[in-house]
C-alpha cells in the first residue's frame, strides 16, 4: 500500500464517512479503571489520537505514575504532510512529578497514519494500544493488532460483532467486549453537518453525537469476563421454537436463556457483551444446518432468511451451548 493511498483512505474515513468521534474523558475513566493491573511497567500507544487534545492522552498523562507506566506514546495524523509523535518516559525534568513539562515531541517523516511504516515500528514497541479507531477502518485496524500480537482496549460499534473477521476472533476467544456497552456521546468536529436525529449542539456551539450501540473491545482479562449469567427460566417448546433450517431453538432475549436446556440455542448478538467462555461456547452455525441444502454462512451467524421460524425471519442470532 502506497503512502498516497494511506493518506487518502484515512482522510476519507474521517471526512466522508463522518466517523471522527472524540471520546469524553469520563467514558475513558469509567472503562479504564478496570484495567489498572495491566498497565504496570507497560508501554501504552494511542495511535489514532491527536495528542494535543486527545482525552486518551490526557488520561494517561495525568495517571502516568498512578498506573506505573513505562512509556506513553501518541502519534498525530496529518492528511498530506509529515506529522509528529509525543512521548512521556518519566520525570525527565526532575521536579518530582510527571506532567506536561515531561513531554517529548519528535517529528515524523510520514503522516501518522496507523498503517504507515513509521507508526508500525512504534506499534512493535508498544505493549498495550488504547484508542478510538475510525469505525469504517475497524476490520483493518483490528487485523493489524492481531498481526503484531498486541494487547488492546479500543472503542467500536456493536455492529462489528457481525463482521466475519471480528466474529471469528470472538469465537476463538482472541477478542471480547469490555465493561461498558450501549449509549455513548462523542464530541464531533465543526465541519460535520448536524442532523436533528443524530447530533445535538450545546450552548457553546459544540456538536455532539450520541450513539446507542457502542462498546469497548479488548483482549485483556477483566473480571466481567468471568461473571456467569444468572438463568431462571424453564424451557418449553412454545416459547422456544426451533429454526426452520438449523437444529437449534430461538431465544429472543439473553435474559431468557433457559436454565434447563442443554442443546443448541440461538441468542441475540448482544449476548457477546455478557459472554463468559467458562459458562457457554459460541458455535459455528454451519455445523448445525438441518441438511446440506442450507447455505454455508461465511460469518458463522444465523441471519437473514435462514434464521426463519415457520417461514418468518428473525434478527441475527449467535448459536451457543452451555458448557458441561
Q: For the segment 274-317, what is each residue's pLDDT rounded down to a tens digit?
A: 999 999 999 999 999 999 988 888 888 887 777 889 988 888 89
Find how far residue 96's CA is from the centre of its chain.
36
Is 192 in the same domain as 252? no
* pLDDT at res. 14: 45
Is 162 in the same domain as 283? no
Residues in contact with 96: Cβ distance below 8 Å, sequence separation at least 6, in sequence order: none
Is 290 in the same domain as 162? no
* pLDDT at res. 8: 42
Question: From CA 267, how far away is CA 70, in angstroms rounded?
Answer: 42
Is 213 in the same domain as 236? no
Which tops the pLDDT comparison, 195 or 29?
29
Of 186, 209, 224, at which residue does a domain stop?
224
Is 94 in the same domain as 137? yes
Nearest Cα neighbor of 276 from 226, 310, 216 is 226
DSSP-H helix ranges across the chain: 3-15, 25-32, 36-39, 55-62, 64-67, 117-125, 138-147, 164-171
Range of the domain at 278: 227-324
Nearest Cα neighbor of 155 from 178, 173, 171 is 178
Is 169 in the same domain as 120? yes
* pLDDT at res. 10: 47
Is 255 in the same domain as 301? yes
Is 231 in the same domain as 202? no
pLDDT (average), residues 228-256: 96
> Grid coordinates representing 47?
495511535
CB 282 within 8 A of CB 318: yes
Of 224, 249, 276, at which residue does a domain stop?
224
Q: What is the pTM of this model?
A: 0.88
CA 141-8-219 angle, to 5 degrees, is 5
Cα dihedral 145→151→152→157 (10° resolution): 60
Q: Residue 5 pLDDT > 60, yes or no?
A: no
Q: What is the CA radius of gyration of the chain?
A: 22
From residue 61, how far is each of 27, 46, 58 by CA, in Å? 16, 12, 5
For the chain, the domain total comes to 2
Of 164, 196, 224, at which residue does a domain stop?
224
- The mean predicted confidence, pLDDT, of the chain is 88
Amino acid at each position: 500500500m502506497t503512502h498516497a493511498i494511506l493518506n487518502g483512505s484515512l482522510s476519507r474515513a474521517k471526512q466522508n464517512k463522518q466517523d471522527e468521534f472524540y471520546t469524553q474523558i469520563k467514558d475513558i475513566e469509567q472503562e479504564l479503571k478496570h484495567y489498572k493491573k495491566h498497565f504496570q511497567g507497560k508501554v501504552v500507544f494511542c495511535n489514532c489520537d491527536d495528542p494535543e487534545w486527545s482525552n486518551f492522552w490526557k488520561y494517561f498523562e495525568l495517571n502516568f505514575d498512578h498506573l506505573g507506566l513505562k512509556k506513553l506514546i501518541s502519534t498525530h495524523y496529518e492528511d498530506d504532510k509529515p506529522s509528529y509523535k509525543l512521548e512521556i518516559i518519566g520525570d525527565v525534568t526532575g521536579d518530582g512529578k510527571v506532567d506536561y513539562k515531561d513531554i517529548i515531541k519528535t517529528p515524523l517523516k510520514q503522516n501518522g497514519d496507523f498503517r504507515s511504516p513509521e507508526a508500525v515500528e512504534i506499534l512493535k514497541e508498544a505493549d498495550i494500544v488504547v484508542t478510538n479507531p475510525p469505525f469504517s477502518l475497524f476490520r483493518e485496524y483490528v487485523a493489524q493488532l492481531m498481526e503484531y500480537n498486541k494487547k488492546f482496549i479500543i472503542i467500536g460499534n456493536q455492529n462489528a460483532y457481525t463482521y466475519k473477521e471480528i466474529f471469528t476472533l470472538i469465537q476463538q476467544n482472541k477478542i471480547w467486549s469490555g465493561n461498558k456497552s450501549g449509549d455513548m456521546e462523542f464530541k464531533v468536529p465543526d465541519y460535520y453537518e448536524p442532523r436533528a436525529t443524530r447530533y445535538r449542539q450545546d450552548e457553546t456551539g459544540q456538536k455532539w453525537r450520541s450513539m446507542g450501540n457502542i462498546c469497548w473491545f479488548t483482549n485483556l482479562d477483566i473480571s466481567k469476563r468471568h461473571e456467569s449469567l444468572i438463568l431462571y427460566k424453564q424451557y418449553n417448546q412454545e416459547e422456544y421454537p426451533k429454526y426452520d433450517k438449523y437444529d437449534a431453538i430461538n431465544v429472543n432475549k439473553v435474559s431468557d436463556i433457559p436454565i434447563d436446556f442443554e442443546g443448541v440455542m440461538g441468542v441475540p448478538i448482544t449476548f457477546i457483551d455478557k459472554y463468559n467462555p467458562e459458562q457457554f461456547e459460541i458455535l459455528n452455525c454451519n455445523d448445525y444446518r438441518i441438511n446440506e441444502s442450507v447455505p454455508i454462512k461465511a460469518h458463522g451467524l444465523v441471519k437473514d432468511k435462514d434464521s426463519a421460524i415457520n417461514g418468518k425471519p428473525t434478527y441475527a442470532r449467535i448459536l451457543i451451548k452451555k458448557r458441561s
